Protein backbone atom coordinates (compact mmCIF):
# COMPACT_ATOMS: atom_id res chain seq x y z
CA UNK A 1 0.00 0.00 0.00
CA UNK A 2 2.91 2.34 0.68
CA UNK A 3 3.93 2.17 -2.96
CA UNK A 4 0.35 2.78 -4.09
CA UNK A 5 -0.05 5.77 -1.75
CA UNK A 6 3.15 7.27 -3.20
CA UNK A 7 2.18 7.06 -6.89
CA UNK A 8 3.80 3.65 -7.26
CA UNK A 9 7.21 4.29 -5.78
CA UNK A 10 9.36 1.23 -6.55
CA UNK A 11 10.85 -1.01 -3.84
CA UNK A 12 14.38 0.12 -4.71
CA UNK A 13 13.38 3.75 -4.38
CA UNK A 14 11.64 3.09 -1.06
CA UNK A 15 14.80 1.37 0.19
CA UNK A 16 16.92 4.35 -0.87
CA UNK A 17 14.65 7.04 0.63
CA UNK A 18 16.72 9.48 2.63
CA UNK A 19 14.40 12.19 3.79
CA UNK A 20 11.05 13.82 3.48
CA UNK A 21 11.13 17.59 3.09
CA UNK A 22 8.10 19.86 3.33
CA UNK A 23 5.76 16.88 3.17
CA UNK A 24 7.23 15.59 -0.12
CA UNK A 25 9.52 12.80 -1.21
CA UNK A 26 11.73 14.13 -3.98
CA UNK A 27 13.99 11.66 -5.77
CA UNK A 28 15.35 10.43 -9.06
CA UNK A 29 13.55 7.26 -10.13
CA UNK A 30 16.21 4.54 -10.05
CA UNK A 31 14.94 2.68 -13.11
CA UNK A 32 15.31 5.67 -15.46
CA UNK A 33 17.78 7.94 -13.69
CA UNK A 34 20.55 8.96 -16.06
CA UNK A 35 18.50 8.04 -19.13
CA UNK A 36 16.59 11.33 -19.38
CA UNK A 37 17.50 15.00 -19.33
CA UNK A 38 15.60 15.50 -16.07
CA UNK A 39 17.30 12.44 -14.49
CA UNK A 40 13.81 11.04 -13.85
CA UNK A 41 13.32 13.52 -11.01
CA UNK A 42 9.92 13.61 -9.31
CA UNK A 43 8.38 14.87 -6.08
CA UNK A 44 5.51 13.01 -4.44
CA UNK A 45 3.31 14.40 -1.67
CA UNK A 46 3.28 12.23 1.42
CA UNK A 47 -0.38 11.72 2.26
CA UNK A 48 -1.37 10.77 5.84
CA UNK A 49 -1.86 7.09 4.95
CA UNK A 50 1.67 6.93 3.53
CA UNK A 51 3.12 8.89 6.45
CA UNK A 52 1.74 6.33 8.90
CA UNK A 53 3.49 3.52 7.04
CA UNK A 54 6.71 5.51 6.61
CA UNK A 55 6.78 6.27 10.34
CA UNK A 56 6.30 2.61 11.10
CA UNK A 57 8.67 1.04 8.57
CA UNK A 58 11.15 3.44 6.98
CA UNK A 59 13.80 3.22 9.69
CA UNK A 60 13.35 -0.56 9.96
CA UNK A 61 13.74 -1.18 6.23
CA UNK A 62 17.49 -0.58 6.06
CA UNK A 63 18.20 -2.56 9.20
CA UNK A 64 15.91 -5.45 8.29
CA UNK A 65 16.91 -5.84 4.62
CA UNK A 66 20.49 -6.10 3.38
CA UNK A 67 19.65 -4.36 0.07
CA UNK A 68 16.76 -3.25 -2.12
CA UNK A 69 16.62 -6.66 -3.83
CA UNK A 70 15.93 -8.36 -0.48
CA UNK A 71 13.19 -5.81 0.26
CA UNK A 72 11.62 -6.41 -3.14
CA UNK A 73 11.65 -10.17 -2.55
CA UNK A 74 9.94 -9.73 0.83
CA UNK A 75 7.32 -7.47 -0.74
CA UNK A 76 6.62 -10.05 -3.44
CA UNK A 77 6.24 -12.78 -0.81
CA UNK A 78 3.87 -10.56 1.14
CA UNK A 79 1.78 -10.02 -1.96
CA UNK A 80 0.46 -13.57 -1.76
CA UNK A 81 -1.68 -12.55 1.22
CA UNK A 82 -2.76 -9.40 -0.59
CA UNK A 83 -3.70 -11.40 -3.67
CA UNK A 84 -5.84 -13.72 -1.52
CA UNK A 85 -7.58 -10.72 0.03
CA UNK A 86 -8.27 -9.21 -3.40
CA UNK A 87 -9.64 -12.57 -4.59
CA UNK A 88 -12.08 -12.57 -1.68
CA UNK A 89 -13.14 -8.96 -2.12
CA UNK A 90 -13.13 -8.75 -5.93
CA UNK A 91 -13.44 -12.23 -7.41
CA UNK A 92 -13.81 -10.92 -10.98
CA UNK A 93 -10.94 -8.42 -10.81
CA UNK A 94 -8.99 -8.06 -14.05
CA UNK A 95 -5.77 -7.72 -12.05
CA UNK A 96 -5.86 -11.25 -10.65
CA UNK A 97 -4.40 -12.79 -13.79
CA UNK A 98 -1.06 -11.11 -13.04
CA UNK A 99 1.47 -11.80 -10.34
CA UNK A 100 1.15 -8.97 -7.84
CA UNK A 101 4.41 -7.08 -8.15
CA UNK A 102 5.15 -3.37 -8.02
CA UNK A 103 4.93 -3.18 -11.80
CA UNK A 104 1.41 -4.57 -11.76
CA UNK A 105 0.40 -2.08 -9.09
CA UNK A 106 1.77 0.67 -11.34
CA UNK A 107 -0.44 -0.60 -14.15
CA UNK A 108 -3.47 -0.82 -11.86
CA UNK A 109 -2.75 2.68 -10.52
CA UNK A 110 -2.49 4.12 -14.04
CA UNK A 111 -5.57 2.30 -15.25
CA UNK A 112 -7.68 3.42 -12.29
CA UNK A 113 -6.70 7.09 -12.39
CA UNK A 114 -7.32 7.25 -16.13
CA UNK A 115 -10.39 5.07 -16.60
CA UNK A 116 -12.15 5.61 -13.26
CA UNK A 117 -11.05 9.10 -12.23
CA UNK A 118 -10.86 10.54 -15.74
CA UNK A 119 -7.33 11.95 -15.74
CA UNK A 120 -5.74 12.42 -19.14
CA UNK A 121 -3.04 10.02 -20.25
CA UNK A 122 -0.42 12.79 -20.13
CA UNK A 123 -1.35 13.47 -16.50
CA UNK A 124 -1.09 9.77 -15.67
CA UNK A 125 2.33 9.65 -17.31
CA UNK A 126 3.46 12.61 -15.24
CA UNK A 127 2.26 10.96 -12.02
CA UNK A 128 4.22 7.82 -12.90
CA UNK A 129 7.25 9.86 -14.02
CA UNK A 130 7.23 8.45 -17.54
CA UNK A 131 9.45 10.14 -20.08
CA UNK A 132 7.25 9.21 -23.04
CA UNK A 133 3.48 9.03 -23.43
CA UNK A 134 3.84 5.77 -25.39
CA UNK A 135 5.00 4.09 -22.18
CA UNK A 136 1.92 5.31 -20.33
CA UNK A 137 -0.36 3.97 -23.09
CA UNK A 138 0.95 0.47 -22.31
CA UNK A 139 -0.22 0.83 -18.71
CA UNK A 140 -3.85 1.64 -19.48
CA UNK A 141 -6.48 -0.87 -20.50
CA UNK A 142 -8.88 -0.08 -23.31
CA UNK A 143 -12.19 1.20 -22.06
CA UNK A 144 -14.44 -0.95 -24.22
CA UNK A 145 -17.66 0.24 -22.60
CA UNK A 146 -16.82 3.80 -23.64
CA UNK A 147 -16.21 2.63 -27.21
CA UNK A 148 -19.55 0.78 -27.10
CA UNK A 149 -21.29 3.98 -25.93
CA UNK A 150 -19.69 6.02 -28.70
CA UNK A 151 -20.68 3.42 -31.28
CA UNK A 152 -24.28 3.37 -30.03
CA UNK A 153 -24.37 7.17 -30.04
CA UNK A 154 -23.24 7.36 -33.66
CA UNK A 155 -25.76 4.70 -34.68
CA UNK A 156 -28.51 6.63 -32.86
CA UNK A 157 -27.55 9.77 -34.77
CA UNK A 158 -27.78 7.87 -38.06
CA UNK A 159 -31.17 6.44 -37.14
CA UNK A 160 -32.49 9.96 -36.51
CA UNK A 161 -31.61 11.02 -40.04
* Percent over 90 (pLDDT), the chain: 9
Q: Give me the mean pLDDT over the 133-157 stretch.
A: 84
Q: What is the pLDDT of residue 98?
A: 47
Q: What is the DSSP letter of 125?
A: H
What pLDDT digit, counting tens, does each position of 61-78 carry? 888 899 988 887 777 777
What pLDDT digit, counting tens, does each position of 118-135 carry? 999 999 998 888 888 898
Check if the beta carbon of residue 23 is closer than 8 Å to that of residue 46: yes
Q: What distance in Å separates the CA atoms of residue 111 and residue 124, rounded to the nearest whole number?
A: 9
Q: What distance in Å separates the CA atoms of residue 12 and residue 9, rounded to the nearest whole number?
A: 8
Its pTM stands at 0.59
Q: What is the pLDDT of residue 119?
A: 93
Check if the beta carbon of residue 104 is closer than 8 Å to that of residue 98: yes
Q: What distance in Å separates the CA atoms of residue 104 and residue 109, rounded to the nearest whole number?
A: 8
β partners of residue 26: 43
Amino acid sequence: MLSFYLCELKGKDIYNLNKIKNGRISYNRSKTEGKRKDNAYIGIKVIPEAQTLLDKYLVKIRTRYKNSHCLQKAICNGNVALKNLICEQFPDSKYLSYELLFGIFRHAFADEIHNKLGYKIAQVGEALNHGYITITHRYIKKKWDLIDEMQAGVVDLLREK
